[in-house]
Amino acid sequence: MRKLLRFLIQNHFIILFLLLESFSLFLLFSTNPYQKFAFYRFSHGIINHISTRISNLEDYLFLYRENKELLEENTKLYNQLASSYSGTTAKTADRLIQGSTDKYLYVSARIINNTVNNQYNYITINKGSRDLIEPEMAVICNDGIVGYTKAVSMNFTIVLPALNLDFIVSGKIKKNGYYGPVSWNGLNANIMTLVDIPHHVALNRGDTIITSGYGGIFPEGYLIGTVQDFRLKGGNYFEIDLTLSPDFRKLENVQVIRYHAKQELDSLQNSIRDD
């Protein structure tokens, strides 16, 4: 009580001023229509601004939850495909090791770091070895291929994306099955190049290019891009510019594909090379 009294005595001039100022403003705005309207418009604008910010924040949080739920649902659907482990999640490692050799496991992940303006770009995702992720696993999104896993820790993974000069994938023309290597030249974040397509192959702008399934990383049939332009290179083969399907500047969520038989396939192929 003494502290309160001391505070009031020490600041009585300021308190009296604020009370008189408040009373004066009350009289001004309550008796003068113009000032009353101006004050109402000003206060209403501030309230609307604050309400809009709160509403935007709520919408953002809601969309984040909705996107997360959608990503998890997509993962479940991927894992229920005929070519996947039906009903399998990343926690069922023991069953996965003993599973069929022609199946895939899909693990959802969120991008926490991404570069697109370098010639050697990299992506970091929030899943690692504890989620059964290993090096050289395919990474995709809803729009097509993203890259493959390069380095893995317990909780995080570095992905080598399509926008990296070291990236290469076997792609094929969907309508006729002709295939060749697809790579990035480091110049345009939207363009990749497909080469080694024979000159007699019929091509059209807009043709769809998908993964061929060769190489042991990407399963067959995932979208790479569409034909933008093409030209003869050396007289016998086409060099084809592709419009990359995913927009790497907007990537947020991805799927990592674990191919159960990859280790066996690599071991067999390496044994032939060693001979």
For 201-253, the pLDDT digits (tens) are 999 999 999 999 888 799 899 999 999 999 998 778 999 999 999 999 999 89
What percent of the chain lies above the pLDDT cut of 90?
49
pTM of the model: 0.65
**CB burial readout 72-100, b (16+ within 10 A) else e:** eebbeebbeeeebbeebbbeeeeebeeee
Count other C-beta atoms under 10 Å from residue 68's C-beta.
13
- Summarised one tens digit per residue, pLDDT across range 156-199 is 999 999 999 999 999 999 999 999 999 999 999 999 999 999 99
Which residue segments constitute the domains of the chain, with CATH numbers given?
2-63 (no CATH), 80-274 (2.40.10.340)
> What whole-number distance in Å separates Cα of residue 83 and Cα of residue 81?
5
State the burial class of residue 126 (Cβ atoms within 10 Å of its Cβ: 0-12, 13-18, 19+).
Answer: middle
